[in-house]
């Protein structure tokens, strides 16, 4: 953990399995509980398809809880819980290896916890009440005979299949052609910026609404292109995640930070820019969308024979000028 957060308490991990003795194929519950300072972010355990001789049937994460008893003032700790259903098809004592539980400190540095190992005894399924344990003899061929009920069943199945095929064909015909492909994120953002520039908000003095719209359009574009949650987060949180994203250059990150900070000043600090400054902010948003999209389109990942992400939107001049 970095020196700035060295005083944070190391999280603790507890785990248990239930039951400790099971039969072949039974579901075995694995519960993991991590108690940690709220400043740390706990990631899900690294469940692989197989854990030793155990197979992971399903896994889930429970909602985070605040540590402490009801009514107790203990707001600096939280509890994250994870559950998994396991199966084993090998008899005898089976070792469930420890699981790695990663967590991140406030600076984004990754650390690890490890659960203890468990030994679960797997027994064979008990014989049924009619199972005598011997080898049964070979029975004769069982199948439909002439005019037996099996033929009627096969006829019903065949007619049902034909009816379903005809119904599906008619349904597709009534639905018509498939919907058009989704609009690329850059075209959608530039179209919204163009419509914003055509409003009378600047001349009417609606600067706060204007800058809020610029910020929302850029944030929505970031979510759609860089897969970073942006609409409901602060500028600092967005920039922290983008620093880990290799798809956006440091130059474009600096442009984005300056644009979002300016919008925040107008929205929250009652900063009153003039109309010329608002026009420059709009042009900066247009330039950011175009440049980042072009950078992604010309990246090595898109030049290896895949589909190139090119913009087919209106030219820059139609969206508020070239900017400063």
pLDDT at 205 over 70: yes
Q: What is the pLDDT of residue 148?
A: 67
Q: Mean pLDDT score of the chain, rounded to an integer?
A: 82
pLDDT of residue 317: 33
pLDDT exceeds cutoff 60 at 240: yes
Question: What's the confidence (pLDDT) of residue 322?
Answer: 35
Domains of the chain in start order, with CATH, are 3-123 (2.60.40.740), 185-319 (1.20.120)
pLDDT at 145 over 70: no
Arithmetic mean of pLDDT, 163-187: 86
Q: In terms of DSSP bridges, do strands 21-23 and 118-123 run parallel, antiparallel, or are they unpaired?
A: parallel
| Position 144 confidence tier, pLDDT thresholds 50, 70, 90 | low
Check: CB of residue 184 under 8 Å from CB of residue 311: yes
Give the confidence band of 77 by pLDDT, cuts at 50, 70, 90. confident
At 299, is the pLDDT very low, low, confident or very high (cuts 50, 70, 90)? low
pLDDT tens digits, one per residue of 79-124: 999 998 989 989 999 998 988 999 898 888 898 889 999 999 999 8
Could you give the dihedral angle defined by the CA atoms of residues 7, 9, 11 and 14, in that order, rounded to the nearest 10 degrees?
160
Q: Is residue 197 over pLDDT 90?
A: yes
pTM of the model: 0.42
DSSP 125-165: PPPPTT--SSPPPPPPP----TT-HHHHHHHHHHHHHHHHH
- Residue 276 CA: distances (Å) to CA of 126, 202, 272, 282, 295: 83, 9, 12, 10, 28
Instruction: Say what percent of the chain tops pLDDT 70.
Output: 81
- DSSP per residue over 94-125, as a string? EEEPPPEEEEE-TT--EEEEEPPPEEEEEEPP
Q: How far, in Å, CA of 87 to CA of 161, rounded?
A: 37
Q: Is the dihedral angle over the CA atoms 241, 244, 245, 248 positive or is it negative?
A: positive
Backbone angles phi, psi at 28, to 5 degrees: -115, 125
């Amino acid at each position: 953990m970095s020196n700035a957060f060295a005083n944070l308490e190391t999280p603790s991990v507890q785990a248990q399995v239930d039951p400790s003795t099971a039969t072949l194929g039974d579901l075995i519950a694995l519960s993991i509980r991590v108690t940690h300072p709220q400043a740390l972010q706990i990631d899900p355990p690294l469940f692989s398809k197989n854990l030793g001789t155990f197979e992971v049937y399903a896994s889930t994460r429970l909602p985070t809880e605040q540590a402490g008893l009801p009514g107790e003032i203990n707001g600096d700790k939280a509890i994250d819980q994870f559950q998994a259903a396991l199966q084993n098809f090998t008899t005898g004592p089976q070792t469930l290896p420890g699981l790695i539980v990663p967590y991140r400190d406030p600076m984004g540095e990754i650390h690890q916890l490890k659960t203890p190992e468990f030994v679960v005894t797997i027994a064979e399924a008990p014989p049924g009440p009619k199972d005598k344990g011997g080898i049964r003899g070979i029975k004769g061929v069982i199948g439909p005979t002439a005019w037996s009920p099996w033929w009627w069943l096969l006829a019903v199945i065949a007619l049902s299949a034909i009816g379903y095929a005809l119904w599906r064909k008619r349904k597709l015909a009534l639905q018509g052609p498939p919907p058009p492909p989704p609009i690329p994120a850059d075209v959608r953002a530039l179209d919204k910026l163009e419509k914003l520039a055509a409003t009378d908000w600047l001349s009417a003095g609606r600067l706060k609404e204007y800058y809020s719209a610029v910020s929302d359009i850029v944030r929505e574009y970031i979510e759609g292109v860089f897969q970073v949650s942006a609409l409901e987060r602060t500028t600092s949180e967005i920039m922290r995640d983008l620093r880990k994203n290799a798809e956006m250059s440091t130059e474009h990150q600096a442009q984005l930070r300056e644009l979002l900070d300016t919008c925040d000043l107008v929205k929250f600090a009652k900063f009153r820019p003039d109309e010329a400054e608002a026009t420059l902010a709009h042009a900066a948003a247009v330039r950011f969308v175009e440049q980042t999209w072009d950078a992604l389109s010309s990246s090595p990942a898109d030049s290896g024979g895949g589909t190139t992400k090119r913009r087919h939107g209106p030219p820059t001049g139609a969206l508020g000028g070239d900017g400063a």
